[in-house]
Amino acid sequence: MKLKFDWFLMGMMAAVGLAWAFPRAGAPGGWLHPEIVNKIGVALIFFLNGLSLSFIAMKAGAMRWPVHVAVQATTFVIFPLAGLLLMMAPESWVSPELAIGFFFLCAVPSTVSSSVVMTAAARGNVPVAVFNATLSSVIGIFATPLLVGWRLHTEGGAMPLDKVILDLVLWLLLPLIAGQLVRPWLAEWAWNNKKPIARVDRSTILFIIYTSYCDSIMRGIWSGQGDAVIAAAVGSLVLFYGIFHVVSAIARAAGFNSADRIATIFCGSKKSIAAGVPMAQLIFAGDPRLGLILLPLMIYHPLQLLICGVLAGRWARRVDEKSGETA
């Protein structure tokens, strides 16, 4: 399978590099004013998501409820349980900040665009993928802060849950609803400008990543954390393959057909950096460890795209050759 240049992945690396080179501008109080601009950016991301979501496609996949139960249970039950196991790793392997990052990764919703694209490329059930990816994003607005808040509380930490959920509703849910409300007038424009909209969406996420790392660097959080990247990479790889095999086994045990199995595997094994970064910005607002907390998600994102991209190409060829049996 030929790998395409991923400007977003390169952009993430560049954002972190710029944060190390110019941390003051993107730190709280800097001239970029991230405490204001980031929230506006979060709202813009979810407004554009709402504008792009087609409820016609959602309706087409809504009746496959066993698949939906399998995907959402994997995303918000099995993944967090795996996150708890990762948090039990010795502190010499995984620092407390990185442990929180792994649990946060496990608590965020599934991807939307890449799950649908991979499912389509592998000849899977695209309407089911659209429904599940969208449903996951909506559930995550409430489930993610509740899961993170519960975990921090059990470890003796605290999180102002009412304020966090209020912020998520204000900056995520309401813009998402607003995007849906204006779809009758702007749907055609959104369809004709998918690429520019995607660039705005991704560029906003890169800005949030940049400012998150600026804050961490200015506060000296990265001192003595040289092994964090290796730990995050190994943990992400173990997590992906563990969940991948579990969701594959669930799909087979449930007797899903080939197309539904593909949608279940791709939607159930993925985590959304597009939703995760804005959520982290609101959930961990003002926390200087945010850069470390985001690290597992930033590594898991390209890892899942690489592995699932290879699998999508392989499964598509098997469908073409055998007319159906795959996954």
Please report, for the chain, the start and end positions of each structural domain, with discontinuous segments joined by +. Answer: 38-319
d(CA 213, CA 172): 22
Q: What is the pTM of this model?
A: 0.81
**What is the CATH code for 38-319?**
1.20.1530.20
What secondary structure does DSSP assign to 100-124, as a single string?
HHHHHHHHSPPPSHHHHHHHHHTT-
Alpha helical stretches, state H, 3-159: 7-21, 23-26, 34-52, 55-61, 65-73, 79-87, 96-107, 113-121, 126-154
**Residues whose CB falls within 8 Å of the CB of residue 101, separated by 6 or more in sequence, listed in order:** 232, 292, 293, 294, 295, 296, 297
Q: Are the C-beta atoms of residues 240 and 116 closer than 8 Å to each other?
A: no
| Residue of 275, 270, 274, 277 lying closest to 239 (CA atoms) | 270
| Residue of 281, 276, 271 lying closest to 213 (CA atoms) | 281
Question: What separation, in Å, do the N-terminal and C-terminal C-alpha atoms of the chain show?
Answer: 17
Amino acid at 217: I
Secondary structure class of 125 (helix, strand, coil): coil
Secondary structure class of 262 (helix, strand, coil): helix
Q: Are the C-beta atoms of residues 98 and 239 closer than 8 Å to each other?
A: no
What are the pLDDT tens digits along the chain (327 aa)?
455 556 777 888 888 889 889 988 888 788 888 888 888 888 887 888 778 776 666 666 677 889 999 999 999 999 999 999 888 888 778 888 888 999 999 999 998 777 887 888 888 888 888 888 888 888 988 899 889 888 776 555 555 566 777 777 788 788 888 988 898 888 888 888 888 888 888 888 888 888 878 877 887 766 666 678 888 889 999 999 999 999 999 999 999 998 899 999 999 999 988 888 888 888 887 778 888 888 899 889 888 888 888 888 888 777 555 554 444
Quote the pLDDT of residue 271: 92
**Residues whose CB falls within 8 Å of the CB of residue 229, separated by 6 or more in sequence, listed in order:** 295, 299
d(CA 244, CA 298): 18
Q: Are the C-beta atoms of residues 138 and 300 closer than 8 Å to each other?
A: no
Quote the pLDDT of residue 95: 82
